[in-house]
């Protein structure tokens, strides 16, 4: 039995009929509690031609305290900068994750900027969640033979407190998933079935930005360094790819990370691949987040509902947001918000077990 199994609460957001900003779906939201205590949702809004914006909505709860819908409030980010726009009029601000980073005293949004060089990680910050200031693309120092700046990179999220880097410096720590050439699920399924995983090129990484508390400008132009390969595909349900999901949150056992894995479905071929995105759980050491204390052998959520199996991309559950329900006096309850088939947004809940297996 999986101690972290997610129990669905339902679909809470669908495309608004007649809204051109949502013509091709809503998905993959960030969630965060605002200064006013309300829970805010930042969905990816997909217009015609896969043109993506990041919206703002307030989550609505029923009398039992379960989320059931949203109130739309507007747009947080839409493509404006050169690194967010593609030739021919395309562009994208996609798949946000938001964390209140205590040493910076700002809400920090990591998101995928889909510009002329493909998907890259960008950061914006806010004091109130309504007004956002872009800080630009994330810069990485080289690591051995790897140049993170020269490849696609996605699925980034930040830890909420300062973490010690491997060199002992208080730092902002980031999880991210570089996508090196030839390592996307669609490319791997075309390879020989005996494909051997390249650990450097097919992993979730953790990188650190040295904090200089005396000046905010230092963080704006800093590089992420001290890179460490955190996790690679291990189980059959994640054989093609893993990626960071919702931002890490601290529990009694360590940092909870709800992540995604991709595998090939029965009937898939190299010419007509059928992929499945599922969700799993890791627990990272509280003081040494580069060390994995627990990792689910089986997924905690798989596509089963019609909304998860049929959509823009079939068979997808894609966790991107998490909310601890201390507002209900339930510090061990976490609601996980996830994209459903790149078309709508669902939420499921889990309880932290008393003991790890």
What does the pLDDT read at residue 221?
72
Region 350-356 average pLDDT: 94
Work out the percent of the chain whose per-residue pLDDT is above 70: 97
What does the pLDDT read at residue 267?
81
- Mark out the alpha helices in 192-261 (DSSP H runs): 216-220
What does the pLDDT read at residue 312?
95
Number of structural domains (the chain) is 1
Per-residue pLDDT at 291 exceeds 90: yes
Closest by CA to 293, choosing from 351, 250, 328, 336, is 250
Counting every residue written for the chain, the total comes to 357
- 170-179/139-140 β-pairing: unpaired
- Mark out the alpha helices in 175-271 (DSSP H runs): 185-188, 216-220
Per-residue pLDDT at 302 exceeds 60: yes
Cβ atoms of 296 and 275 within 8 Å: the answer is no
Per-residue pLDDT at 216 exceeds 80: no
Closest by CA to 26, choosing from 278, 342, 310, 348, is 342
Per-residue pLDDT at 41 exceeds 90: yes
Identify the band that residue 188 occupies on the pLDDT scale cut at 50, 70 and 90: confident
Token pair 């101690």 is found at 3
Closest by CA to 258, choosing from 227, 294, 287, is 294
- DSSP label at residue 238: G
Three-state secondary-structure class, residue 237: helix
Confirm whether 156 is domain-assigned: yes
Cβ atoms of 339 and 313 within 8 Å: the answer is no
Per-residue pLDDT at 218 exceeds 70: no
Per-residue pLDDT at 150 exceeds 70: yes
What does the pLDDT read at residue 81?
96
Three-state secondary-structure class, residue 271: coil
What does the pLDDT read at residue 226?
94
Per-residue pLDDT at 148 exceeds 90: yes
Per-residue pLDDT at 271 exceeds 80: no
| CA distance to 53, 307, 313, per residue, from 170 (Å) | 33, 43, 40
Confirm whether 1 is domain-assigned: no
Alpha-carbon span 183 to 20, nearest angstrom: 33
- DSSP label at residue 84: G
Lowest mean pLDDT among 38-42, 87-91, 287-291, 322-326: 87-91
Structural domain including 325 reads 7-351
- 333-340/223-231 β-pairing: unpaired
Alpha-carbon span 319 to 347, nearest angstrom: 9
Cβ atoms of 162 and 102 within 8 Å: the answer is yes
Work out the percent of the chain whose per-residue pLDDT is above 90: 83
Confirm whether 2 is domain-assigned: no
Closest by CA to 142, choosing from 200, 226, 60, is 226
Closest by CA to 66, choosing from 352, 356, 337, is 337
Residues 6 or more apart in contact with residue 199 via CB below 8 angstroms: 229, 232
What CATH number is associated with residue 40?
A: 2.115.10.20
What does the pLDDT read at residue 282?
98
Lowest mean pLDDT among 43-47, 83-87, 258-262, 334-338: 83-87
Q: % helix / strand / coil in the chain, to the nearest 5?
A: 10, 50, 40
pLDDT in tens, 88-133: 888 899 999 999 999 999 999 999 999 999 999 999 999 999 999 9
In Å, the largest CA–CA distance within the chain is 57
Lowest mean pLDDT among 5-19, 114-128, 219-233, 252-266: 219-233
């Amino acid at each position: 039995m999986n101690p972290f199994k997610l129990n669905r609460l339902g679909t809470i957001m669908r495309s608004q009929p007649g809204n051109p900003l949502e013509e091709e779906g809503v998905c993959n939201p960030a969630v965060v509690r605002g200064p006013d205590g309300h829970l805010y949702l930042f969905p990816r809004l997909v217009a015609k031609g896969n043109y993506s914006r990041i919206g703002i909505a307030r989550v609505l709860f029923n009398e039992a305290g379960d989320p059931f819908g949203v109130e739309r409030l507007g747009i947080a980010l839409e493509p404006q900068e050169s690194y967010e726009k593609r030739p021919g009029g395309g562009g994208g601000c996609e798949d946000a994750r938001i964390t209140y980073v205590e040493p910076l005293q700002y809400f920090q949004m990591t998101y995928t900027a889909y510009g002329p060089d493909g998907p890259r990680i960008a950061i914006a910050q806010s004091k109130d969640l309504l007004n956002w200031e872009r800080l630009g693309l994330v810069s990485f120092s080289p690591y051995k033979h790897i140049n993170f700046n020269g490849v696609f990179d996605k699925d980034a999220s930040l830890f909420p407190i300062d973490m010690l880097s491997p060199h002992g410096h208080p730092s902002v720590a980031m999880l991210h998933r570089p996508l090196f050439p030839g390592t996307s699920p669609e490319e791997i399924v075309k390879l020989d079935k005996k494909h051997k995983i390249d650990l450097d090129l097919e992993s979730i990484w953790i990188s650190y930005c040295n904090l200089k508390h005396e000046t905010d400008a230092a963080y704006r132009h800093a590089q992420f360094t001290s890179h460490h390969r955190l996790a690679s595909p291990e189980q059959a349900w994640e054989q093609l790819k893993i990626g960071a999901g919702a931002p890490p949150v601290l529990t009694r056992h360590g940092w909870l990370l709800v992540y995604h894995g991709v595998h090939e479905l029965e009937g898939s071929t190299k010419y007509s691949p059928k992929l499945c995105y599922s969700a799993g759980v890791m627990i990272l050491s509280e003081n040494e987040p580069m060390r994995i204390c627990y990792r689910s052998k089986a997924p905690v959520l798989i596509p089963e509902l019609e909304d998860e199996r049929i959509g823009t991309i079939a068979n997808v559950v894609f966790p991107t947001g998490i909310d601890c329900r201390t507002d209900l006096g339930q510090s061990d309850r976490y609601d996980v918000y996830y994209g459903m088939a790149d078309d709508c947004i669902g939420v499921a809940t889990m309880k932290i077990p008393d003991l790890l297996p």
